[in-house]
Structure 1
Amino acid sequence: MMKKVLAIILAAGLALGAAGCGSNKSTGAEGGKEDKTIVIGVSPVPHKAIVEAAVPILEKEGYKVKIEEFTDYVLPNTALADKDLDANFFQHVPFLNKTVSEKGLKLTYTVKVHLEPLGFYSQKIKNFDDIKSGAEIAIPNDPTNGARALRLLESKGLIKLKEGELVSKMDITENPKNIKITELDAPQLPRVLGDVEGAVINTNFALEAGMDPIKDALIMEEKDSPYANVVAVREENKDSEKIKALSKALNSPEVKEFIEENYKGSILPSF
């Protein structure tokens, strides 16, 4: 009889223990307690510094921010879709839209933060109009930034292109100087300046290479460019409290002041 009583007591204790474990698990992100950690993937320059400027704002609201750096344009969206990140901050809207369309990712964005104007850089000429006939010009090889680079060249009369958003060098309709367009990975462009007449380079990679876009770029995109960098998130977590807090912090007066004071017009706030 005593053995049966002990067995019943033991079973009841195990049941209560299991119930307690279940109760603890429910206090996570999907339970009653809010998840206060934000994991965000960024490009090293300038995105990391901009997020770091927003961290004190988020910490005051009780959030812990983990920043993960990426040096390519593929992995940040993959990591976001796989729930390894809560958000990423490295890309403009056309690039995000194309990635979502091609890969079927359920990603969207919340706010625009800044614009990195594309610029044309050269170690061989001092004036854009001095580009020689038959010269080689390097541009980014991803479709959106490649199209953007070609439109910049077109805006200064070097070439003419067909209508459309995602144009390529195959869409050049007029090329009076017979310019050769070479497409390369965006991070490589600063390193080939000694081998080409010039290159159209994303501001973040120009900054990483030690160039000053305001002083060194021979031409730059205008500030009304549609290629603002955004905070990308999964559709399912767009309206979560921590994403709302992150978006608000990155559109704060403090972050705007940080961008204006530190980048002096080479990077522009988009809010």
Structure 2
Amino acid sequence: MRNALKFTSVLATAGLALSVAACGSSTGSAGSSDPNAPLTVVASPTPHAEILKFVKDNLAEKAGLKLTIKEVTDYVTPNTSVQDGSADANYFQHVPYLEDFNKKHGTDIVSVETVHLEPLGLYSKKVKAATELPDGATVGIPNDATNEGRALKLLADNNLITLKAGVGTGATPADITGNPKNLKWKELDAAQLPRSLDDVNAAVINGNYALDSGLKPATDAILLEKAEGNPYANILAVKKGKESDARVKKLAELLHSDEVKKYINDTFKGSVVPAF
């Protein structure tokens, strides 16, 4: 995620972080290890918060877990809130993004469990198949390091481009060695990509943002990532040392339950896939 998603402006990020901190402090739970205190989890609205709401409404009380869910739409606040203790955990990211964030920001956030995969997809309002993209087509891709590399890999796996051997998940357009359709790139914040579909020939969009915008990855994407062996499963994450918190362990167990697996499959119908 280049420049950490070029995320949002510093002021906007600070404002969001303060907002979450205030919400957490009002319950008196964030940063607490009291097994009876609510566990505050920061999450993206779709599908993360929806999955957490299912747990809260159907499983948490019986398990003795009090759960507070805070929704945010950016990719910075969830990690800064966990790092500064204004939230106990977050659920919005995959491990490659987390590792990149820790490296760039000096944070020490760790994965607890994988939960689900949101397949990255290529979408278009102008063509119905990737092979129909015209010569010189403009393709929108995420402007952050991990998801940009992921997007380019999707295109390479489907023979639209060729990438330099061994480039891995950090690929950028500079690593493209073959481009038979002479595709042009429009690098945008991941959240803006659904809105770009009117202006580009196609765009590679993260699953959560596709769902938020009314797209159905399983049926609307003209290319879609395969789930098997995919390193981009989304995770429950905490600040290092918090993994032993009994409330975190309990939430991880519930997120890996048969009930949650059935909820994901029944609700998202292949647009979100259980990763356990």
Q: Distance in 2 between matches of 1:64 and 1:35?
A: 7
Distance 1:181 1:60, change over 3 A: same
Deviation at 1:29, TM superposition (A): 9.7
Q: Distance in 2 between matches of 1:198 and 1:116?
A: 19
Residue matched to 2:269: 264
Deviation at 1:177, TM superposition (A): 1.4
Residue identity over aligned pairs, in percent, reads: 45
Q: Distance in 2 between matches of 1:258 and 1:270?
A: 13
Q: Distance in 1 between matches of 2:132 and 2:243?
A: 48
> 3-state SS of the aligned residue for 2:134?
coil
Across the aligned residues of Structure 1 and Structure 2, the Cα RMSD in angstroms comes to 1.7
Residues 1:142 and 2:147 aligned together: no
1:174-219 deviation per Cα after TM superposition (whole angstroms, max 9, x unaligned)? 1121110111011111111011110000111111111111221001
Residue matched to 1:49: 50
Q: What are the within-5 Å matches in structure 2 for residues 167-182 of structure 1?
A: 167-182=171-186
**Unpaired segments of 5 or more residues in structure 1?**
1-27
Indicate which of 227, 232, 240 corresponds to 1:235. Answer: 240
Distance 1:101 1:121, change over 3 A: same
Indicate which of 186, 189, 200 corresponds to 1:185. Answer: 189
The alignment's TM-score, normalised by the length of structure 1, stands at: 0.87
Q: What are the within-5 Å matches in structure 2 for residues 1-271 of structure 1?
A: 34-55=35-56, 56-162=58-164, 163-224=167-228, 225-271=230-276
> 3-state SS of the aligned residue for 2:168?
coil
Distance 1:30 1:219, change over 3 A: closer
Q: Distance in 2 between matches of 1:85 and 1:29?
A: 5
Contact 1:53 1:254 in 2 (8 A): no
> 3-state SS of the aligned residue for 1:101?
helix
Distance 1:177 1:51, change over 3 A: same
Contact 2:116 2:275 in 1 (8 A): yes
Deviation at 1:62, TM superposition (A): 2.4
Deviation at 1:32, TM superposition (A): 10
Distance 1:198 1:33, change over 3 A: closer
Deviation at 1:30, TM superposition (A): 9.8
Contact 1:29 1:35 in 2 (8 A): no
**Unpaired segments of 5 or more residues in structure 2?**
1-28
> 3-state SS of the aligned residue for 1:236?
coil
Contact 1:36 1:62 in 2 (8 A): no
Q: Distance in 2 between matches of 1:44 and 1:152?
A: 25
Larger radius of gyration: 1
